[in-house]
Structure 1
Amino acid sequence: MPPPRSAWRDVPEERVRGFAERSLAEVPVLAEDILREIRREYPNLPFTPDENGEPMALVAIRRALEHFVRHIASDAGRPHDHPRVFQEFGRGQVLRGRSLDSLQAMYRLGVRLAWRRLAEIGQQLDIPAPAMYELAETGFEYLDGLVAQSMRGYAEAAARQAGERLRLQRRLLDLLLAENPRRSPAAATEALAERAARIGWPLPERVAVAVLLRPAREALAPAVGRHVLLDMECEQPRMVVPDPEEAGRPELLRRATVGWSGALGPPVPLTEAAKSLRWAEAAVRLMERGLLPADEVLHCTEHTEALVLLPPEELIDALARRRLAPLERCGPTHGRRLAETLLAWLETRGGAPEVAARLGVHPQTVRYRLRQIRELWGAEVDDPDSRFELELVLRARRLRGELTGSAERVSDEWSRPLPGEAGCA
């Protein structure tokens, strides 16, 4: 299919040349008019001068107009390249912390004013309407090219700025999460303030540190705001949450980490962030072993018992071997039931009815088991220190899933032991 016929190319050459000459002659005044209108519409917009003292915006407008007119007056066809100064405008928007919206609005304003004047010149020179419509279409295509140049500059500057911020943020995180026992709190705060100022991070009084487990290698980063420091470069990403107990912060964090799992350490003073990190790491290790739920970002403060009793396995196991030695004389099933009954009694310090209700068995069964417990442990169950250690090791076993805290219910022969409770040797 042949290309569509160009109405602009059908305009006599001398008329096109006259249009270009008159338009170029008016470019300086037209550029001034456009800049004046932009300043009126955007009174607070700063304009940077070039080396000659002229506003760079004025130079760019003039250059863009000249570039456009020369191309349409030549045999080169529609202009496909654009002055590179418009990339600088896009970079400038990043440096000033602004979006491209206002810049694009100014471009549209400039094109509208330019087209109004070019249309007047076209009328004066009897340029046919179809040719002027085609020229208008070309002008808006040119505008798209200017916007694309600015977007390219904006993207490049934003990427550089983001990369620099990430580098500075990692330096801040390294200092924040480092163990510095010899550094005074005042000196540590001063060093943190210096690095935090470089990325515009206000120093909070307290922080909580999270360790995250990736749901997938390509998972998108949690949608936390700039107030949260997030390091996605680690195998297990780390996150520093400022003032975690502030109203609304827990709910914002929960929404931002949907689909992720991990652990958020306890709130600590800013200079003690490494302590919060240690607890979060300990919780994640338990999650990986299936000892803590792994379907969300849990709060360490809600799992204190597990974090205190499960990590020191060697100490707890050694204590368990000593304190639970009497159970070695019982069979596995009966020994487990006695351990569950002993734990329920230690936790409630109630009588047989309270313990029975906790375990789901009849009170007479509990009385039978408690008599056996006294036979096995003797006076130890009345000694506060022994009771404390027994409760520690039994709670640890329950957290590991070795004890359930309930047993089968009996029905008619409630005064007899349950099947399998034949006693201990």
Structure 2
Amino acid sequence: MNVTGTDASPVGTPSAWVDVPRLQVRQFADRALAEVPELARQILDAICQEHPRMPLILDEHGDLMALVGIRRALEDFVQHLVREDGRRPHLHLEVFQEFGRGEGLHGRSLNSLQAVYRLGVRLAWRRLAEIGQQVNIPPPAMYELAESGFAFLDGLVDESVRGYAEAAARQAGERLRLQRKLTQAILRERESGGGGDVAESLAEFAAHAARIGWALPERVAVGVLLRPSRECVAPAVGAEVLLDMESEQPLMVVPDPQVAGRAEQLRRATNGWTGALGPAVPLAEAVKSLRWATAAVGLMERGLLPSVGLLHCTEHTEALVLLPPEELIGDLTDRCLAPLAGCGPTQGRRLAETLLAWLETRGGAPEVAARLGVHPQTVRYRMRQIRELWGAEVDDPDRRFELELVLRAQRLRGQLTEPIR
């Protein structure tokens, strides 16, 4: 006979209850069921004494959920004994799922709940053993009943674990929703205003942040990430970093980015990801950091910036300043480098590299030659050509500045060779 719906006897071993006369089984079950209400109350009283902090919640009928759950569990367990069709009866275990949900929603572990269940089973078994003696149930059957009782306990724990997992998933989903709402508020474009606008923004952030326990930092950096694949797992950035995985390009808001150890934390968390982290800015100006990070990611996708790991915008300021305004730089390049139009590609590139090296070093032929890895006499020859092509413009501070801008932009695009450092 299957007492709990999960056979506690070894496979192939008949249940000891098969040899117990049905009338005797019925007597045992009737006595046990008659005592269930009082036994449930005694168990709850003992649990409250052992675990005084256990919350007692009323159901929709005004009854204690814990008392209802204990009573139904006892009834379900005892009624297994008198079923003759061998089918598993319907178990009223929803309340135990609710217990698990309650523990999860209140941030407690399941350890105390399992201790409560064990105490209840121990007290119930003590009374069932007394009833078994009163109606002369053979010891082997009672031993089997004890094993079934602990198997039933495992079932209650499983239900609570299911409820606990549901609560945890619900809380995680709610936190992600609130976290995304906070992220969107922080990164929303705002018109430039005075101190009052900043104060209003911070008050709005504080209201959202309080709901997820996020402490408002003074400064933040915003990161834009590129998904390595559709099925990728979110980077484990930690609870203090806001993460929005629902955006087309995942976003993260990093508090106090210059605090010791933060850079290493982000490097580890984003292993396998690529993206860019904008500069640190005041919290109310986070959208500025987002603009830098977005521009950097655009350059990474075009192959103009390294696409390995999390790029820090502050380490690539020159590229971010010179590369994005392509039309302006393009027009300026055409005007500044017009004297090279009559030169061949190779000669034009060599003269451009020599001019840039001279503008950057402001040194003589030996310094420029060392930077280019050529002979000083070669530099002198090229500089004579440069002066013939540009004339007095190379001595004008404004023209030199424009020339250096366009030539640096060309080098960033790979059109000119990097100098020897």
Q: Shorter chain as normaliser: what TM range? A: 0.7 to 0.9
Cα 1:320/1:149, change in 2 over 3 Å:
same
* 1:68-121 CA-partner distances (Å, limit 9, x unpaired): 112223336455523321122122123212233432332233223333443344
Of stretches 231-240 and 135-144 in structure 1, the one that deviates more from structure 2 is 135-144
Q: 2:307 aligns with which of 289, 294, 298?
A: 294
Matched, 1:171 2:181: yes
Instruction: Say if 2:144 is the partner of 1:131.
Output: no
- Superposition deviation, residue 365 in structure 1: 1.7
Q: Which runs of 4+ in 1 moved over 4 A?
A: 49-55, 76-80
The aligned amino acid for 1:62 is R
Q: 1:231–1:239: 8 Å Cα contact kept in structure 2?
A: yes
* Structure 2 residue matching 1:8: 3-state secondary structure: helix
For residues 96 and 180 of structure 1, the distance between their equivalents in structure 2, rounded to whole angstroms, comes to 37
Structure 1 residues 180 and 289: alpha-carbon distance in aligned structure 2, compared to 1, 3 A threshold: same
Match of 2:100 in 1: 90
The TM-score, its normalising length taken from structure 2, stands at: 0.88
The aligned residue for residue 60 of structure 1 is 69
1:214 to 227, 232, 245: 227
Closer, same or farther: CA 208–76 of 1 in aligned 2, 3 Å: farther
Q: Counterparts of 2:306 and 2:185 in 1: how far apart (Å)? A: 31
Deviation at 1:186, TM superposition (A): 0.8
Aligned residue in 2 for 1:342: 355
C-alpha deviations, 1:276-304, integer Å up to 9, x for none?
11111111110110011112121111111
Q: Does 1:235 pair with 2:248?
A: yes
Q: Would you say 1:194 and 2:203 are equivalent positions?
A: no
| Contact 1:344 1:405 survives alignment (8 Å) | no
Amino acid at match of 1:66: E
Call closer, same or farther: CA 1:237–1:332 in 2, change over 3 Å: same
Mapped partners of 1:203, 1:342: distance in 2: 50
Alignment of 1:20-35 (within 5 A): 20-35=29-44
Bigger shift: residues 48-57 or 186-195: 48-57
- How far apart are residue 336 of structure 1 and its match? 0.8
Q: Distance in 1 between matches of 2:50 and 2:401?
A: 76
Check whether the contact 2:393–2:400 (CA below 8 A) recurs between aligned residues: yes
Structure 1 contact 206–243 (Cα < 8 Å) conserved = yes
SS in structure 2 opposite 1:279?
helix
CA RMSD of aligned residues (A): 2.5
327 and 105 in structure 1: CA distance in 2 versus 1, 3 angstrom threshold: farther
Letter in 1 for 2:418: G
Q: Which runs of 5+ in 2 are unaligned?
A: 1-10
Find the counterpart in structure 2 of residue 203 from structure 1. 216
CA distance in 2, matches of 1:377, 1:105: 88
Structure 1 distance, partners of 2:402, 2:93, is: 79
CA drift of 1:4 comes to 4.7
Of 126, 132, 145, the residue aligned with 1:122 is 132
Is the partner of 1:295 in helix, strand or coil? coil
Of 267, 274, 284, which residue of structure 2 is paired with 1:261?
274
8 A Cα contact 1:94 1:157, kept in partner? yes
SS class of match (1:178): coil
Aligned to 1:397: 410
Alpha-carbon contact 1:320-1:393 (below 8 Å) kept: yes
1:230 alignment partner, SS class: strand
Partner of 1:17: 26
Distance across 1 between alignment mates of 2:355 and 2:303: 26
**Residues 357 and 419 in structure 2, CA contact (< 8 A), matched pair in contact too:** no
* Deviating more after overlay: 219-228 vs 191-200: 191-200
Which has the higher mean CA deviation after the structures are superposed, 194-203 or 204-213?
Answer: 194-203
Task: Kindly state the Cα deviation for residue 337 of structure 1 after the two structures are TM-superposed.
Answer: 1.1
Structure 1 residues 198-230: Cα deviation after superposition (integer angstroms, max 9, x where no partner):
333222211111111110111111112222221
Gaps of 5+ in 1: 408-425
TM-aligned CA deviation for residue 376 of structure 1: 2.1
For these two proteins, the number of residue pairs brought into alignment is 406
Deviates more, 1:259-268 or 1:22-31: 22-31
Give 1:244's aligned amino acid. Answer: P
**What whole-Å deviation, never above 9, does each CA across 1:147-206 have from its counterpart, x for those lacking one?**
232233333333433333333333322221111115610111112222222333222211
- Please show how residues 67-106 of structure 1 align to structure 2 within 5 Å: 67-75=76-84, 77=86, 79=89, 81-106=91-116
Q: How big is the shift at 1:354?
A: 2.1
TM alignment of 1:129-168, pairs within 5 A: 129-168=139-178
Q: CA deviation at 1:18?
A: 3.0
Report sequence identity in percent: 73
